Structure 1
Amino acid sequence: MGSNDIKLSPPRFAMEFGIPEGLIKPEFERRYRELLGDEYETFLSFMAKRPVPSIRVNPMKIDPEWLLSVLRANGWELSQIPWYGYGYRVIRGPERLGNTEWHQLGLYYVQEAASMVPPVLLSPKPGERVLDLAASPGSKATQISEMMLYKGLVVANDVSPERVDSLSSNVQRMGSMNVVVTMFDGRRAPDVLGRESFDKVLLDSPCSSLGEVRRSWGALARWSPRNVEKISRLQVSLAKAAYETLKPGGLMVYSTCTFEPKENEWVVYKLLEIGAVIEEPEVKGLVWRKGLRKWMDWDFGNEMEKCMRIYPQDNDTIGFFIAVLRKPG
């Protein structure tokens, strides 16, 4: 069956899964039925459900076991996230996890479970120089800082005063002493920070945020092929700039919270054209799909299957795409 032969029925899905009528555009349904096949309805059913909230305990400020015992004594039910030792799903707890004294003291960060994966794959070590190019609101930058035991340097950048305010606030709250916050257009990173100056680089790129639909309908309402094309051009520019700041032999993680191939595999393909090499990811306890080797008229090649696609139905998380890239040298 070709994509033009797919039978569309957005109103039925809106009623069945609780997605507001009109949010599932015909082109969206055509595209994602082609991408997911028989899993499309399962995908929609998860997109319509709120994810289980999760927190990341800060081991640099508190003994994690002590904090966990206190939270449980206060009626919390927690389940450890397999892929990050200090990550926990909150099965039962306060409605507003950000309003507790423990949160305000920086003893934990409210962070979605899948969002913890890119820093895990970056695997920052104490003493390294690390760049988080699009860092706000700071969940990954502060996680990276903690994984480095506050030793070395993390440059956490974003582009606007509003985003930097949020980033700075979270860096201060979490006590991330080795994080330096900067503000500039990430496309200028090689000129501002220097070429080949970082051991590791994370670009958790601005994107169409379809993976975030479980938390807000906004991304689905804004989605259009035109917007995807526009964002993709920005992502390619940011990715190339990020790669330029990487030392030879260094590691870069490119991630988004969307499923769009033009924002994911296409961007990675453009990095391969300038010499990047994709590495096979390994994450304990995480279910993920291979990246797309082909999509529409594009043939990305077999190497793209080393990229990681995380759908909501795989681990009951938001959606993510992640690629691990090495600069030869």
Structure 2
Amino acid sequence: MASLFTPSRKVALQVLQEVREGRFAEDALSDALDRQSLSAKDRNLATELVYGVVRWRDRLDSIIRRCVIRPGTRMDPDVREILRTALYQIFFLQRIPEHAAVDQAVMYASQRSKKHAGFVNAVLRRALRDRETADPPPEKDPRRLAVYYSHPEWLVRRWLHRFGYRKTKHILQHNNSKASLELRLNTLKATPDTVSQITEESELQAIPGFPNALRVMRSSGKVETIKGFLEGSLVVQALASQMIAPLLKPQPDMRILDACAAPGGKTSHLAALVQDNARIVALDISQQRLNETAANLQRLGVHSVEFVVGDAADPQMVKELGTFDRILVDAPCSNLGVLRHNPEAKYRVTPEALMQFARIQSRILSNMAGLLNPGGMLVYSVCSPTEEETVGVVDAFLTASPGFSLLPFIREEVPMPVLVDARGFFATFPPPPEMPLDGFFAARVARK
């Protein structure tokens, strides 16, 4: 019987167990798919199930609670994961026959025990029979919104207070949507001829208004299969992330520091913007991630980067780096702006954690700013929209650092003027309705 269980569902359940134990879904899924020889169809379904279940976890659990005959029943974590996966298929994937979702779930539960199989069958049958009462639409109440859209209540309440109901609902829906795979043309290798060939032979579409940005219209499951990727003509980089490096205005022959550089998307972008003609230092705390960055940059034909392992929050270490004309501080953060890619982050971040991130970010910003040459510029960026990690960090730094001044962005510097606010900060959150972007923030400061 076990052999009949589809490989996509088996992989998904294994990955979901790893996510439950603390791994990031993206990493666990990538490792699992590398170990398995799945068809493109099975790879896509496994990916859909993993991200779908993680995105909608609280809503799926609320359905389970309504369909359990004896409320308060203690449930085996693996059985709960089986139920979540089946219910996601029933309530969110119209292309999956309901009987197939139920049969597969019962089959997998039976490997544990007949009792578990009977329990799973009963819950799923009741969910099918009482679909409307099992998954009622949300109200404007923060708690109900939080459960229905599977976000922590404290975060929903914060957004309601800051943005109001309509924008908050849009944010919640956006966060639970599927992110397109977006690429950047590597101008160090891609010529007009190769660009034309890549777009003609691959399912890629240029994104109007965004230089060198492409969107994958139909995924085969492996980015390596896209023409031009292995040759170094393409870089995986989300659209909002592609807008960060140009804000630094790097110039040839400058000495440039990319702090917290791994996995190297912005490092390679900086190199491309100066035609690989600068002295770039890529700093990261992880040797392994820096090794991966080096391999990626080699594929892209980048030769202007020196790799340094070190902690940007350590003031003694950073003094050994020397001084720079441009510094990019893409600081570690809560990842609350990239929930489409890392949905598990919303369950792991607390208000207290935001303050911890802000303290680390402040130390890194202060350390890096001390390395800036007079007249030099620094861009501080995070993929988070929280005030603690964005404006709070920048304002605290400027108050404590009279030798630096805010250098506001102007709207002509970015593809969409709405992305520059009244103070000259770059912010892609809340996402514009016409362009589903990740939530990035950036500020630019100059040394007097």
Between the aligned partners of 2:163 and 2:224, the Cα distance in structure 1 is: 35
The aligned counterpart of 1:28 is 155
Alpha-carbon contact 2:258-2:328 (below 8 Å) kept: yes
Residue 252 of structure 1 and its aligned partner are, at CA, apart by 0.5
Q: Which residue of the other structure, out of 302, 322, 326, is the alignment partner of 2:442?
A: 322
**Structure 1: segments with no counterpart, 5+ residues:** 1-6, 292-304
Between the aligned partners of 1:26 and 1:192, the Cα distance in structure 2 is: 44
* Larger mean Cα displacement after TM superposition, 214-223 or 281-290: 281-290
> Do the aligned partners of residues 215 and 312 (structure 1) sit closer, same or farther apart at CA in structure 2, a change above 3 Å counting?
farther
CA deviation vs aligned residue, 1:197-237 (integer Å, no higher than 9, x gap): 10000001100001110112121111101111111110000
Between the aligned partners of 2:157 and 2:311, the Cα distance in structure 1 is: 35
Between the aligned partners of 1:139 and 1:48, the Cα distance in structure 2 is: 24
Residue 12 of structure 1 and its aligned partner are, at CA, apart by 4.5
1:221-236 to 2 correspondences below 5 Å: 221-236=347-362
1:230-309 to 2 correspondences below 5 Å: 230-273=356-399, 274-275=401-402, 276-282=404-410, 283-286=413-416, 287-288=418-419, 290=421, 305-309=423-427
Residue 172 of structure 1 and its aligned partner are, at CA, apart by 1.4
Between the aligned partners of 1:108 and 1:79, the Cα distance in structure 2 is: 13
Does structure 1 residue 57 correspond to structure 2 residue 185?
yes
CA deviation vs aligned residue, 1:125-157 (integer Å, no higher than 9, x gap): 111110001110000000000111111111011
Between the aligned partners of 1:312 and 1:36, the Cα distance in structure 2 is: 9
> Do the aligned partners of residues 66 and 185 (structure 1) sit closer, same or farther apart at CA in structure 2, a change above 3 Å counting?
same
* Larger mean Cα displacement after TM superposition, 177-186 or 274-283: 274-283
Query: Going by fraction, where is helix more abundant, 1 or 2?
Result: 2
> Any idea what SS the aligned residue of 1:211 has?
coil
> Any idea what SS the aligned residue of 2:313 has?
helix
**Structure 2: segments with no counterpart, 5+ residues:** 1-139
Alpha-carbon contact 1:114-1:320 (below 8 Å) kept: yes
Alpha-carbon contact 1:52-1:90 (below 8 Å) kept: yes
CA deviation vs aligned residue, 1:14-56 (integer Å, no higher than 9, x gap): 54xxx4xxx4222111111112224111111111112222111
Alpha-carbon contact 1:53-1:89 (below 8 Å) kept: yes
> Do the aligned partners of residues 14 and 99 (structure 1) sit closer, same or farther apart at CA in structure 2, a change above 3 Å counting?
farther
The aligned counterpart of 2:283 is 157
Does structure 1 residue 90 correspond to structure 2 residue 216?
yes
The aligned counterpart of 1:125 is 251
Alpha-carbon contact 1:46-1:312 (below 8 Å) kept: no
Identity, % of aligned positions: 25
Q: Which amino acid aligns with 1:193?
A: L
Between the aligned partners of 1:92 and 1:68, the Cα distance in structure 2 is: 18
Between the aligned partners of 1:77 and 1:99, the Cα distance in structure 2 is: 12
Between the aligned partners of 1:122 and 1:112, the Cα distance in structure 2 is: 18
Residue 81 of structure 1 and its aligned partner are, at CA, apart by 4.9
Residue 171 of structure 1 and its aligned partner are, at CA, apart by 1.6
Does structure 1 residue 115 correspond to structure 2 residue 235?
no
Q: Which amino acid aligns with 2:258?
A: D
CA deviation vs aligned residue, 1:91-114 (integer Å, no higher than 9, x gap): 345443244452122111010000
Between the aligned partners of 2:338 and 2:390, the Cα distance in structure 1 is: 15
Residue 284 of structure 1 and its aligned partner are, at CA, apart by 3.6
How many residue pairs get matched? 300
CA deviation vs aligned residue, 1:232-274 (integer Å, no higher than 9, x gap): 1100000001101111110110000001111111110122120
The aligned counterpart of 1:4 is none
Residue 13 of structure 1 and its aligned partner are, at CA, apart by 5.5
> Do the aligned partners of residues 165 and 190 (structure 1) sit closer, same or farther apart at CA in structure 2, a change above 3 Å counting?
closer
> Any idea what SS the aligned residue of 1:261 has?
coil
Residue 61 of structure 1 and its aligned partner are, at CA, apart by 1.4
Structure possessing the higher radius of gyration over alpha carbons: 2
* Larger mean Cα displacement after TM superposition, 34-43 or 220-229: 34-43
The aligned counterpart of 1:41 is 169
Between the aligned partners of 1:73 and 1:53, the Cα distance in structure 2 is: 17
1:174-185 to 2 correspondences below 5 Å: 174-185=300-311
> Do the aligned partners of residues 12 and 262 (structure 1) sit closer, same or farther apart at CA in structure 2, a change above 3 Å counting?
closer
> Any idea what SS the aligned residue of 1:212 has?
coil
Between the aligned partners of 2:428 and 2:290, the Cα distance in structure 1 is: 28
Q: Which amino acid aligns with 1:67?
A: T
Between the aligned partners of 1:244 and 1:326, the Cα distance in structure 2 is: 11
The aligned counterpart of 1:210 is 336
Alpha-carbon contact 1:202-1:254 (below 8 Å) kept: yes
Query: Going by fraction, where is strand more abundant, 1 or 2?
Result: 1
Between the aligned partners of 1:43 and 1:233, the Cα distance in structure 2 is: 26
* Larger mean Cα displacement after TM superposition, 96-105 or 52-61: 96-105
Q: Which residue of the other structure, out of 79, 90, 94, is the alignment partner of 2:206?
A: 79
Tell me the TM-score normalised to structure 1 length.
0.85
Backbone CA RMSD of aligned residues: 2.0
> Do the aligned partners of residues 181 and 205 (structure 1) sit closer, same or farther apart at CA in structure 2, a change above 3 Å counting?
same
> Do the aligned partners of residues 167 and 10 (structure 1) sit closer, same or farther apart at CA in structure 2, a change above 3 Å counting?
farther
Residue 89 of structure 1 and its aligned partner are, at CA, apart by 2.3
Alpha-carbon contact 1:8-1:26 (below 8 Å) kept: no
* Larger mean Cα displacement after TM superposition, 241-250 or 71-80: 71-80
